Amino acid sequence: MLNFLLKKLKLKNDKTNKNHVSLAHMPDVVMEEILDRLDYRSVLRLRKVSRGLRYTIDQIKPDFQLRKFHLHIRKFHPHRIPFQIWIGESQKRDYIDYRLTELGCTVGCYKEHQYKERSFRNTDFMNICMRDFENFMKFQRSILEVFYVNLYLDWSLTMEKMDSDAILDRIRNSNKKLLKTEKLEMEVRHEAEAKRILSLVYPNFLKSITIYGDRNSRSMSKLKIDELEVLEQWKNAENLKIWGFEWDEKGVESLVGQFSMVKLNTEVVIMNDLVI
């Protein structure tokens, strides 16, 4: 689509064309129309053409119209961060994979059963990952259906300074505004991580919260609800699903009184907890 538009507008660097018009100097209305017809990949490529185009695109801020965004940081792959992205009305998704290598990092993209990969020497894969995340969120004007964060880290395997606080700090710093999403889903170890992830999203748009504990662990930890109840995101949500945590009587009472729908999954249920 990008190449087609460039040819259509005859915007090649042809010095013999006296009527040559730079794409960066197109009227805003024309540029908005062009950018609306491009997918997120083409917009990101176009930003790299020149500083003028980058400035113009950043001022217009075309909507990427992403439906779902999944961010995985798993303990089994501490040197790898994948994104999964759903676009528009289609059920198709892109899979972008950031990997640490001995020489730097690689960024691979799976799209419709095709895989492309680029290598970057002497480059921190987290910097590239967070830079791309910033661009995705910068141009996401519409509300996401789902924002999902998986924070299963194994500290014995993880690289130096690669802990959940550091990662969430980089996510927050890379995005200057709160995320707009209807559903927030997360996989965490305890309420401190859940609280920090909740604080990343705009409370007025959030309708549903899903929290998963460590599904690979043989024992369940207790989720301290009182640390989450103070957040506006928690107060504004209508539906709550929590899997893999233990509960006490007070916690169950507060959940039923707060949300329109509550779904809990746990190994043990005390009868008194259900009598409210």
What sign results for the dihedral spanned by CA atoms 191, 206, 90, 59? negative
Question: How much is the pLDDT for 256?
Answer: 76
pLDDT of residue 237: 96
Reported as half-sphere exposure (CB side, CA atoms, 13 A), residue 142 has a value of 13
- H helix intervals, 37-80: 40-47, 51-60
Alpha-carbon radius of gyration of the chain: 22
- For residues 200-204, average pLDDT: 94
- pLDDT tier for residue 203 given thresholds of 50, 70 and 90: very high
Q: How many CB atoms lie within 10 A of CB 240?
A: 21
| Residue 268, amino acid | V
Segment 98-128, tens digit of pLDDT: 988 889 999 999 877 788 999 999 888 888 8
What is the reported pLDDT for 236?
A: 94
Token pair 């609306």: residue: 36
The secondary element (H helix, E strand) that includes residue 151 is: strand 144-152
Side chain identity at residue 2, one-letter code = L
Q: What is the mean pLDDT of residues 135-163?
A: 73
pLDDT at 93 over 80: yes
Decide if 128 contacts 107 (C-beta within 8 A): yes
Distance separating alpha carbons of residues 119 and 131, to the nearest angstrom:
16
Percent of the chain whose pLDDT exceeds 70: 76
Q: Give the pLDDT of residue 78.
A: 58
Q: Provide the pLDDT for residue 39.
A: 87
pTM over 0.85: no
Q: In Å, how far are 55, 76, 159 from 51, measured between CA atoms? A: 6, 39, 35
Greatest Cα pair distance, the chain, in angstroms, is 84
Task: Quickly count: other Cβ atoms within 10 Å of residue 188's Cβ.
Answer: 23
Give residue-wise pLDDT tens across range 32-49. 998 988 888 899 989 988
Query: Sorting pLDDT into bands at 50, 70 and 90, what band is 18?
Result: low
User: Stretch 252-264: mean pLDDT, rounded?
Assistant: 82
Query: Is the per-residue pLDDT at 161 higher than 50?
Result: no
